[in-house]
Amino acid sequence: MDDVFDSEEARGFLQRYIDQHGYLSFLDLQVESLAPGEMVMRIPYDDKLANEGQGNGNVHGGIAATLIDTVGGLSVHASLDDPLESGVATIDLNVSYLRPAHGDLVATAEVVRIGSTVGVATVDVESTVPGGERNTVAVGRGSFRIFRPEDE
């Protein structure tokens, strides 16, 4: 199974799925890397994702939450024995916002555990600030129901 990871083919497969998904393609979500139990995704900064008014220019918190949900679920999904025939659905999602995000969002997911029916992942979201430094802007944890072919 490890040969599936970190291949251009696996990243391409995931990117095609995202590009065909209306909401995720609207966010311009990009797969950066894929390894056993870990995945990195990016949402480039765009004014359409930013708040207006008092938080002008800050990326809306819902974008970070979507990123945590998506990269967490896909990292669990990709870690299954038969990812093409299996599925996942979010059971629980916890997001803690640490500071405003002003640039690209980069999320790193780590699979904590894959059980028989539930997988858990933690996610750190960083944002690039002027000058190129990255700050952690949100952290999250998701629990995902696993649907395996034998469940049908």
What percentage of the chain reaches a pLDDT higher than 90? Answer: 72
Q: Measured between alpha carbons, how far is 125 from 45 in angstroms, rounded to an integer? A: 13
Given this model, what pLDDT does residue 84 score? 85
Instruction: Identify each DSSP E strand in the chain by its residue range.
Output: 30-35, 38-43, 87-97, 105-114, 118-128, 134-147
- Whichever domain contains 101, its CATH number is 3.10.129.10
**Structural domains of the chain, count:** 1
Domain extent at residue 116:
2-151
- Tell me: pLDDT of 129 over 80: no
Q: What is the pLDDT of residue 132?
A: 78
